[in-house]
Structure 1
Amino acid sequence: MSSTIIAGRFVNPEREWTGQIRLEGGTIVEVGEQLGSPDVEFGEDCYVFAGMGDIHIHARDDQSETQTYKEDFRTAAAAAVNGGVVQVADMPNNPVAPIDDASYRAKQQHLAARNVPIQVTLYAGIGPGTRPLSFAVPYKAYMGPSVGDLFFSTLADLDETLAHYRGQCVSFHCEDPELLEQHKSAATHEQRRPAECELSATRFALQMIEKYELRGKLCHYSVGEGLPLIRAARAKGLDVTCEVTPHHLYYDVSDLTDENRGWMQMNPPLRDIADRKAMLAALHDGTLDYLATDHAPHTLEENAAGISGQPHLDTYGEFVTWLMAEQGFTARQVAAFCAENPGRFVNPYTAPLKFGRIEPGYVASLTVLNLARPTTIRRENLKTKCGWSPFEGVTFPGSIEAVYIRGERHK
């Protein structure tokens, strides 16, 4: 069995150090100072992280193949590697939603046939009348309408269904469906999905997490006023974590124009400047646990027609360099919300593979960022099948130096 020694500056959440690691059989087998003559050495401008994970993507691929014109597991995997991401978790709002043992296994088999290099963990959907699967999976509950048909019309209906999911790992799309109905005739997308919808749904989700002893996660958080609710819930001992997206950290309503409204539309929508700054601060202080893209590949024509969502897998790592170089995030903080925390989320479902740390016994998947080589995002360099990015023309301060997947270099 061949081994590879890599030298460089390594990062875990608790420390940053210069040294070497040895990879063997797709696993990190040794971490030290002088393990031998290095096969690869990364310079002082580079940071070597455990492979980064995006635990909220929409690959648009299932056994129906009715949406694969805009993405599939192969192109999503290519976009992930292009952005320095080695493991993803795919959402269940497919035309054939994975909501029971049979439909989940069918999607797993479809994924396996795609033969992608990265790890893909599949969420199961929670919808009206569904029940838990007979084996451990992460679940997603859509409180209100999103893309697809897997959602609830009232919070009472969701409560009734969640009673059957006690103790499960459930992620919540926090938008109150009854308030969305009240605002559906407003003039703009932001007014149709106002902050109060997210706040009401946050309160309800936290109640459900407590009531049914869930391991809860709040998806793509965007409203600053909701952050104290999350902190208070944790102080009570609730098991709740939170995502934040690149678009809610980088853009706000001041960036909207008549020309870009179509491709700047997402659920939840862009918020005020104060909300965006609150998300950055909450990522700094640990209230937000994951940088998760909500990668939502649609064609530009679909976005112009009012379908919500942006593609972000291709630009994940470059966006992280902006957080480090321009927003004051340390490499250790990045190692937490881009690697260790996403790894901790998926590891119960990926055994024997363990993601998220540079440590013996963990998978030998690595993301190497170069903070001295800027990258301008260009359409021709994207791998996503939908073929566009909201960051086109943006120059980020760093780049992806290398990506290793189970010991093999892919970039």
Structure 2
Amino acid sequence: MGKIAGRIVTHTEEFKGTVVFDETAGLIKEVKKSVDPDARLFGDECVIFPGFGDIHIHAREDVSGKHCYKEDFVSAGNAGINGAVLHVADMPNNPVPPIDDKSYEEKLALTKKSPIHITLYAGIGPTTKPLLKKVPYKVFMGPSIGELFFEDNISLENTIRHYQGQDVSFHCEDPEILTENKNKPTHEERRPKEAETLATDFALSLIEKYDLKGKLCHYSTKDGLNKIIDAKKRGVNVTCEVTPTHLMFDTSMLTDDNRSWFQMNPPLRGKEDREAMVKGILDGHIDFLATDHAPHSIEEKKKGTSGISQLDTYGLFVTYMINVLNIPLQTIARICAKNPGDFVKQYLPEKFGSGFGEIKEGYAANFSVLNLKKPFVFEKSMIKSKSGWSPFEGFEFPGSIEAVYFLGKDLHAK
């Protein structure tokens, strides 16, 4: 049996205790509110969280192999471990998108080589239908990276009506607004806030009308978040994500030199919107910290490709959220562990027991252990993603990653 002990934080409580786990089965056997003398003890400067999960990444690999130079399931898994992330959910905008049972199973087989667990979204595009098996879905409402998107809302609804009751995540950018602004001089002007807020209205109407389990991805606008809050209050089954970049950066820091590196969809917004995202976490309205990890090559970024590589720094950014943004520890456990675990729970193999995201008997022995008192400078040489770059190169985070346990094994051990 393995044992770790110290300051344990879940979405409901914080206590000094010991977790006992079966190192062979990889499952938690017992949780004690006392410290066993023979356990691996983490000091009071450390926090033992349930293993973090990032439910929005682009690992790039599919049966074509065309984009494996950007990332593959092995390198994405290694980047996840680097960032204290123990499971991820991969988006479907591949050269060969997983849009039916055959293409989904073919891509799923490729995930088995990853050092961490990968859940796959199936894609929704014009003329697609639900798969036979239960899976999460992703729909791109407007043009993004890849070809899996809709040109207008009418064709989108004609497809979504077939997905009644399904788990559907929306990339909210109105296609008609994007078309109207496509010739504007900057990326922020080409993808204005109105594109997100209008698409939010439509996505919420579809979620309500077709009884979807809806999730709105990488949220960035104050007005749109208020629409989500109002929808939740009236009982709409919807959750939302926010990325580290929309919590830390805004348009005030953009320059001619860094603009291409910070180009993503949706783009950075103003200070008011960034602060609204932070408040949304504090007030309990934002449900997931999700990176939208989009590994493009350095050459592609210089040419203006949208997307930011940031899976490597997930856990380090969490120390920034705690120490600088003053996000409570139990809130971190909720949006980084419990909620991501709940999102993938119904799609997990039996070997993971009761699932991810909680420190309870029967759950996977996955733990993300952070040191909140040991600052850490993240260097370019530390990147595990094939992209080879990070917006946080040279940045000193206020804390560091102490250990990363996956199924009872410390993958972060030096």
TM-score by length of 1: 0.98
Are residue 215 (structure 1) and residue 213 (structure 2) matched? yes
Question: Number of residue pairs matched?
Answer: 407
1:200-279 to 2 correspondences below 5 Å: 200-279=198-277
CA contact (8 A) 2:16 2:34 kept: no
Query: Which residue of structure 2 aligns with residue 402 of structure 1?
Result: 403
Query: Which residue of structure 2 aligns with residue 365 of structure 1?
Result: 366
1:126-165 to 2 correspondences below 5 Å: 126-165=124-163
CA contact (8 A) 1:4 1:38 kept: no
Q: Report the Cα distance in structure 1 between the residues aligned to 2:409 and 2:117, rounded to whole angstroms.
A: 14
Runs of 5+ consecutive residues of structure 1 not aligned to the other structure: none
CA contact (8 A) 1:27 1:364 kept: yes
Query: Which residue of structure 2 aligns with residue 12 of structure 1?
Result: 10
Are residue 110 (structure 1) and residue 113 (structure 2) matched? no
Q: Residue 286 of structure 1: CA displacement? A: 1.2
Q: In the TM superposition, what whole-angstrom CA distance separates every residue of 1:94-116 from its partner, at most 9, and x where no partner exists? A: 0000000000000011222xx22
CA contact (8 A) 2:165 2:212 kept: yes
Q: In the TM superposition, what whole-angstrom CA distance separates every residue of 1:163-217 from its partner, at most 9, and x where no partner exists? A: 0000000000000001100000111000000000000000000000000000000
1:10-409 to 2 correspondences below 5 Å: 10-24=8-22, 25-34=25-34, 36-112=36-112, 115-352=113-350, 353=352, 354-409=355-410
Q: Report the Cα distance in structure 2 between the residues aligned to 1:305 and 1:149, rounded to whole angstroms.
A: 19
Residue type of the alignment partner of 2:97: A
Q: Report the Cα distance in structure 2 between the residues aligned to 1:35 and 1:317, rounded to whole angstroms.
A: 25
CA contact (8 A) 2:184 2:190 kept: yes
Secondary structure class of the residue paired with 2:80: helix
Secondary structure class of the residue paired with 1:338: helix
Residue type of the alignment partner of 1:344: D
Q: Report the Cα distance in structure 1 between the residues aligned to 2:144 and 2:46, rounded to whole angstroms.
A: 39
Indicate the larger mover: 65-74 or 26-35. 26-35
Residue type of the alignment partner of 1:379: K
Q: Which runs of 4+ in 1 moved over 6 A?
A: none
Q: Report the Cα distance in structure 1 between the residues aligned to 2:300 and 2:337, rounded to whole angstroms.
A: 32
Residue type of the alignment partner of 1:159: E
Q: Report the Cα distance in structure 2 between the residues aligned to 1:248 and 1:397, rounded to whole angstroms.
A: 19
Q: Report the Cα distance in structure 1 between the residues aligned to 2:234 and 2:396, rounded to whole angstroms.
A: 42
Q: Report the Cα distance in structure 2 between the residues aligned to 1:142 and 1:193, rounded to whole angstroms.
A: 14
Q: Residue 37 of structure 1: CA displacement? A: 3.5
Residue type of the alignment partner of 1:322: Y
Residue type of the alignment partner of 1:364: A
Secondary structure class of the residue paired with 1:232: helix
Secondary structure class of the residue paired with 2:324: helix
Q: Report the Cα distance in structure 1 between the residues aligned to 2:262 and 2:35, rounded to whole angstroms.
A: 49
Q: Report the Cα distance in structure 2 between the residues aligned to 1:34 and 1:240, rounded to whole angstroms.
A: 38
Q: Report the Cα distance in structure 2 between the residues aligned to 1:207 and 1:36, rounded to whole angstroms.
A: 53
CA contact (8 A) 1:82 1:314 kept: yes
Residue type of the alignment partner of 2:69: Y
Q: Residue 35 of structure 1: CA displacement? A: 7.1
Q: CA RMSD in A?
A: 0.9
Secondary structure class of the residue paired with 1:327: coil
Q: Residue 34 of structure 1: CA displacement? A: 4.2
CA contact (8 A) 2:92 2:121 kept: yes
CA contact (8 A) 2:378 2:394 kept: yes
CA contact (8 A) 1:373 1:397 kept: yes
Q: Report the Cα distance in structure 1 between the residues aligned to 2:287 and 2:302, rounded to whole angstroms.
A: 32
Q: Residue 378 of structure 1: CA displacement? A: 0.4
Secondary structure class of the residue paired with 2:345: helix
CA contact (8 A) 1:185 1:192 kept: yes
Q: Report the Cα distance in structure 2 between the residues aligned to 1:36 and 1:400, rounded to whole angstroms.
A: 23
Q: Report the Cα distance in structure 2 between the residues aligned to 1:89 and 1:341, rounded to whole angstroms.
A: 13
Q: In the TM superposition, what whole-angstrom CA distance separates every residue of 1:321-356 from its partner, at most 9, and x where no partner exists? A: 000001111111100000001001011101422000
Residue type of the alignment partner of 2:136: P
Residue type of the alignment partner of 1:40: R
Q: Residue 281 of structure 1: CA displacement? A: 0.4
CA contact (8 A) 2:5 2:35 kept: no
Q: In the TM superposition, what whole-angstrom CA distance separates every residue of 1:270-311 from its partner, at most 9, and x where no partner exists? A: 000100000000011111100000000001110111110011
Secondary structure class of the residue paired with 1:133: coil
TM-score by length of 2: 0.97
Runs of 5+ consecutive residues of structure 2 not aligned to the other structure: none
CA contact (8 A) 1:5 1:37 kept: no
Q: Report the Cα distance in structure 1 between the residues aligned to 2:227 and 2:373, rounded to whole angstroms.
A: 39
CA contact (8 A) 1:7 1:38 kept: no
